[in-house]
């Protein structure tokens, strides 16, 4: 394959050793991703380049914060955990294009903005969790509404970005009416209310509440490795992972990514960091720390994730999915997706 298609912290500085001189260059990241998840990568960048990395974690309100700061914003890089949020930043005029041979060479065309406003940094596949003893080896997203799965499916809220991205991709392929019917079938198949997180699907499979669930691939790595604790490790032991595909297509992959802020005060350092983040060394750290798929085809996938099988990502680009995101979200409400009915 295609493997993919195929803050700045005091502790981090101390780890570099007392002999390290004061850092005079810096880059500032505003991120919706918890900084601790990528801190090892940022520390490695600082150790290699001498450029300090400061992070501001904004679980919500990223656009509002940067917009309010205007031209005086200290933000250099805007980082999110969903491609839709990246598009919102672009649409709000809060990014600027980057012309970088390094980024364009490492990030597949389907996983970056054609104008250079954003680039994927890592990926997560939308996969099927299935009870380990279930006689099931392959699956398509189209099968999610099959009557075979009545009362046997667990899924988080249809309005969560992970799901609206999946629904939007389906709509891009099949149109609005088929998507509405598909969502109604998925709703009918739910074993309980569409709520919680992806890992709750694994929990409920282990508890016998459902037989299949939809979740992101990296959560399986977190559970299997013990990073989520012994209880979650036990959940993972009760299930298997299937890489579903679209009929005549591949597996849906969403991304974490970043763009250069429109008024970045440290533009050169910011581009240097973005280029580092797609290097094989950084991509390996992404895989080790977060169990995500690297965007670089030459970087290794973590063994836990590689064990799912060879990932053949769907060739529908994220920019093709984008126009359907809003309507997909509206359909979720129109079919009362998050309302459970026995």
Q: What is the pLDDT of residues 190-242, one digit of tens each?
A: 999 999 999 999 999 999 999 999 999 999 999 999 988 999 999 999 999 99
How buried is residue 40: exposed, middle or buried, by Cβ count under 10 Å (0-12/13-18/19+)? middle
Structure token digits, residue 307: 């064990």
Q: What is the pLDDT of residue 22?
A: 52
Domain 10-123+254-300 has CATH 3.30.350.10: no
Q: What is the pLDDT of residue 13?
A: 34
Q: What is the pLDDT of residue 38?
A: 84
β 293-294/253-261 pair status: unpaired
Structure token digits, residue 309: 């099988």
Ranges of residues in the chain with a pLDDT under 50 are 1-21
pTM of the model: 0.84
The count of other CB atoms within 10 Å of the CB of residue 4 is 25
* Bridge partners, residue 51, by sequence: 25
Instruction: Say if CB 33 and CB 325 are below 8 A apart.
Output: no
Q: Which of 267, 254, 287, 273 is nearest to 123 (CA)?
A: 254
Look up the CATH architecture of domain 124-250+318-334: 3-Layer(aba) Sandwich (3.40)
Domain(s) labelled CATH 3.40.190.10 in the chain stretch across: 10-123+254-300, 124-250+318-334
Rounded CA separation 75/81 (Å): 17
């Amino acid at each position: 394959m295609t493997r993919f298609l195929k803050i700045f912290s005091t502790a981090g500085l101390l780890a570099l050793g007392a002999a390290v001189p004061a850092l005079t260059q810096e880059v500032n990241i505003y991120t919706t991703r918890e900084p601790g998840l990528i801190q090892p990568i940022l520390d490695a960048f600082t150790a290699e380049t001498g450029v300090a990395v400061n992070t501001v974690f904004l679980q919500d309100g990223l656009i509002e914060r940067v917009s309010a700061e205007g031209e005086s914003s200290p933000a250099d890089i805007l980082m999110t955990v969903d491609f839709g949020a990246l598009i919102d930043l672009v649409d709000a005029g809060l990014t600027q294009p980057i012309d970088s041979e390094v980024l364009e060479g490492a990030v597949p065309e389907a996983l970056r903005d054609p104008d250079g406003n954003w680039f994927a940094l890592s990926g997560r596949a939308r996969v099927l969790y299935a009870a380990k003893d279930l006689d099931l080896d392959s699956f398509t997203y189209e099968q999610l509404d099959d009557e075979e799965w009545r009362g046997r499916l667990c899924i988080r809220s249809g309005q969560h970005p992970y799901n609206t991205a999946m629904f939007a991709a389906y709509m891009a392929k099949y149109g609005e009416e088929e998507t509405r019917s598909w969502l109604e079938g998925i709703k009918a198949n739910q074993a309980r209310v569409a709520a919680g997180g992806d890992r709750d699907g694994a929990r409920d499979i282990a508890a016998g509440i459902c037989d299949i669930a939809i979740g992101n691939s990296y959560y399986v790595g977190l559970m299997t490795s013990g990073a989520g604790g012994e209880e979650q490790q036990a959940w993972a032991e009760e299930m298997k992972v299937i890489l579903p595909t679209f009929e005549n297509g591949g597996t849906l992959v969403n991304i974490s990514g970043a763009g250069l802020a429109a008024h970045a005060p440290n533009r050169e350092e910011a581009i240097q960091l973005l280029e580092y983040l797609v290097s094989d060394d950084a991509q390996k750290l992404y895989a080790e720390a977060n169990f995500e798929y690297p965007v670089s085809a030459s970087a290794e996938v973590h063994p836990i994730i590689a064990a799912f099988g060879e990932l053949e990502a769907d060739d529908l680009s994220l920019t093709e999915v984008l126009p359907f995101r809003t309507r997909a979200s509206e359909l979720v409400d129109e079919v009362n997706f998050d309302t459970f009915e026995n």
